[in-house]
Amino acid sequence: LFSAPLFSAPLLAQTGTRPAPTQLQAPSALPAGFTTPSGYGDSVYPALGDAGLDVTHYDLSLRSDPGVDRLIGRAVLNIEARTPLTQISLDFAGPQVLGVKLNGRSARHVQAGEKLLILPPAPIAAGTAFTLTVAYSGTPALHLDASSGGGLRLGWIAQAGGSYVLSEPDGAHTFFPCNDVPADGASYSLHLNLPAGTTAVASGVQTRQTTLAGRTLSDFELVQEIPTYALTVHTGRLELVTQPGPAGIQIRNAFPVGLPDTVRAAFGQTPAMLGFLADWFGPYPYPVYGVAVTEDPQLPALETATLSTFPSRPEAPVTALHELAHQWFGDNLRLGDWSDIWLNEGFATYAELLWAEGQGEAAAPILDRWYARLVREPARGVIASTPAQLFDSSSYFRGALTLHALRLKVGDARFRQILRTYAARFSARSVRTTDFLGVVQELGGAAALEAMQPWLTGTALPPLPKETLTQT
Ligand code: ARG
Ligand code: ZN
């Protein structure tokens, strides 16, 4: 979550006006045998990904040193061919590739634009499982965020005492080769190699930490499938603060050593928030949760899986709640297409209102505030069509009001049942707007769908729904 003005002009000045290098080299520049890849088919980021690939698992070994903007990596990808493959194309704007192996044997490859293209020795039949190993070394590319007009750097970012990762929407391929579309979720094994004294914390459950010859090796496992942008790794002089949470969930926060209490304060209510959101959404999807605070005061907060990423500035507790809500809607239920971003942002924003109500606050001023934001900007239906729309007011506030219209129509009990059914049915799967609407229709009927329709598909901003329940 972020307030838009925060990283527009000043950050742009810092990073220059260099556009994100999204264009692939002309096919003529490719060596013989390679062809221009066609992308996964995402409607907002059509060049990303490869529709022929289903990556099921990424095993990433990453070696880095604080203060040195260099990454030595080895990525092992377990892939299933969804279509017959004569070429494999991965997104990778990262360091230089040193070698590629397919099922253990060296394979011809080329880095072109932000793609890593690989030629299998023989065509791969649809349905075949195979393993790709990519070794690389160098400086992660500077990758600017098209969704914020280039005002934000994405991916693996070195900072004074270490590094952090902030990838949404398309920064993951700055530090590992991947099928960088949210629709293709995968599980992860991470092996982090850092100088002793530097702490690593990452998405998933920590399974090892040993120090050998002055290097600390830390392993993390995330068995649940998540979208690529939700993977995070933080390294540095970090203080890990753990406590038991509800339902056996482990709470683990990572704060830079010396982080002031004014910044830590927003994260004190995690146990209560986990319990509260589980009541509305169903069980929290992972065994561990916490936040990692970076050294940068200007980042947007991001719902990185099991370990949300935050700027080092005092945040309101509802921002912490917002990122936690995304663990259900964004990470566990991932987008089938970026145009459906309201299924992330509208839901996480609506969770803020549910929490505020639970704290005894009145809903009306919050609804008015959201509505006022929408009135100020050009109206659009909630389905996004450009990168610039992904994180605009319509995705957040019109998305949230779409849910509010539904809730007022069906009442709290049925609304809760719809959210819980949707979260359970699509757990660890990708979702489109029609998947949610299917659940709405099934449990709320045609009238429930109708109440949402003007918000979803109309262009004009509908009137703010009134606080009256038609049924309970
Ligand atoms: N998903 C984040 C949140 O609202 C916002 C990410 C903004 N990302 C960006 N590239 N501008 O919690
Ligand atoms: Zn959000």
Q: Determine the angle formed by the axes of helices 412-425 and 399-410, rounding to 10 degrees.
A: 120
Q: Which atom of ligand 1 is nearest to the CA of 169?
A: 10
Please report the pLDDT score of residue 12 as a whole number: 26
Please report the pLDDT score of residue 469 as a whole number: 53
The answer to whether residues 207 and 76 touch, using CB atoms and an 8 Å cutoff, is no
Question: 1: Cβ below 6 Å to ligand 1?
Answer: yes
Residue 22 has pLDDT above 50, yes or no: no
Report residue 18's pLDDT band, with 50, 70 and 90 as the boundaries. Answer: very low
Task: Provide CB contacts within 8 A for 163, sequence distance 6+.
Answer: 64, 66, 156, 157, 233, 234, 235, 236
Q: Residue 124 carries which DSSP code?
A: B
Residue 316 has pLDDT above 70, yes or no: yes
pLDDT single digits (tens) 133-143 = 999 999 999 99
Question: If you average pLDDT over every residue of the chain, what do you get?
Answer: 93
| Amino acid (one-letter) located at 245 | G
Between strands 288-289 and 250-256, the pairing is parallel
What are the DSSP calls for 239-290, one per residue? EEEEEE-GGGPEEEEEEETT--HHHHGGGTTHHHHHHHHHHHH-S-SSSEE-
Question: 343: Cβ below 6 Å to ligand 1?
Answer: no
- Please give the average per-residue pLDDT across 95-101, as a whole number: 97
Please report the pLDDT score of residue 464 as a whole number: 96
Report residue 371's pLDDT band, with 50, 70 and 90 as the boundaries. Answer: very high
Report residue 39's pLDDT band, with 50, 70 and 90 as the boundaries. Answer: very high
Strands (E), 373-417: none
Taking the CA of 304 as reference, the closest ligand is 1
Burial classification of residue 379, based on how many CB atoms lie within 10 Å of its CB (0-12 exposed, 13-18 middle, 19 or more buried): middle
Rounded alpha-carbon distances, angstroms, from residue 114 to 82, 120, 209: 22, 20, 33
Which pair of structure tokens corresponds to residue 25?
Answer: 């080299």
Phi and psi for 46 in degrees, rounded to 5? -65, -25
d(CA 382, CA 456): 5
Residue 36 CB neighbour total at 10 angstroms:
18
Question: 303: Cβ below 6 Å to ligand 1?
Answer: yes
The residue whose C-alpha atom lies closest to atom 1 belonging to ligand 1 is 302
Residue 274 has pLDDT above 70, yes or no: yes
Question: 335: Cβ below 6 Å to ligand 1?
Answer: no
Please report the pLDDT score of residue 29 as a whole number: 84
Question: 148: Cβ below 6 Å to ligand 1?
Answer: yes
Please report the pLDDT score of residue 160 as a whole number: 86
pLDDT single digits (tens) 279-312 = 999 999 999 999 999 999 999 999 999 999 999 9
Question: 281: Cβ below 6 Å to ligand 1?
Answer: no
Question: 325: Cβ below 6 Å to ligand 1?
Answer: no
Report residue 14's pLDDT band, with 50, 70 and 90 as the boundaries. Answer: very low
Please report the pLDDT score of residue 28 as a whole number: 57
The answer to whether residues 343 and 431 touch, using CB atoms and an 8 Å cutoff, is yes
- Please give the average per-residue pLDDT across 27-54, as a whole number: 94
Please report the pLDDT score of residue 6 as a whole number: 28
DSSP SS3 for 295: coil
The residue whose C-alpha atom lies closest to atom 11 belonging to ligand 1 is 148
DSSP-assigned beta bridge partners for residue 128: none
The residue whose C-alpha atom lies closest to atom 10 belonging to ligand 1 is 168
Residue 7 has pLDDT above 90, yes or no: no
Between strands 199-202 and 129-138, the pairing is unpaired
- The residue ranking higher by pLDDT, 178 or 26, is 178
Percent of the chain predicted with pLDDT > 90: 91
Q: Which atom of ligand 1 is nearest to the CA of 301?
A: 12
The residue whose C-alpha atom lies closest to atom 4 belonging to ligand 1 is 1
Which pair of structure tokens corresponds to residue 155?
Answer: 């991916």
Please report the pLDDT score of residue 16 as a whole number: 29
- Please give the average per-residue pLDDT across 368-388, as a whole number: 97
Rounded alpha-carbon distances, angstroms, from residue 148 to 4, 159, 240, 290, 300: 8, 21, 32, 26, 11
Report residue 17's pLDDT band, with 50, 70 and 90 as the boundaries. Answer: very low
Long-range contacts at 124-130 (CB < 8 A, ≥ 24 apart):
124/81, 124/84, 124/85, 124/88, 125/81, 125/84, 126/81, 126/82, 126/83, 126/84, 127/80, 127/81, 128/80, 128/81, 129/56, 129/78, 129/79, 129/80, 129/81, 130/79, 130/81, 130/102, 130/103
pLDDT single digits (tens) 69-87 = 899 999 999 999 999 999 9
Using the Cα atoms of residue 380, residue 383, residue 389 and residue 391 in order, give the sign of their dihedral: positive
The residue whose C-alpha atom lies closest to atom 12 belonging to ligand 1 is 1
- Please give the average per-residue pLDDT across 212-217, as a whole number: 97
Please report the pLDDT score of residue 94 as a whole number: 82
DSSP-assigned beta bridge partners for residue 431: 335
Please report the pLDDT score of residue 465 as a whole number: 87
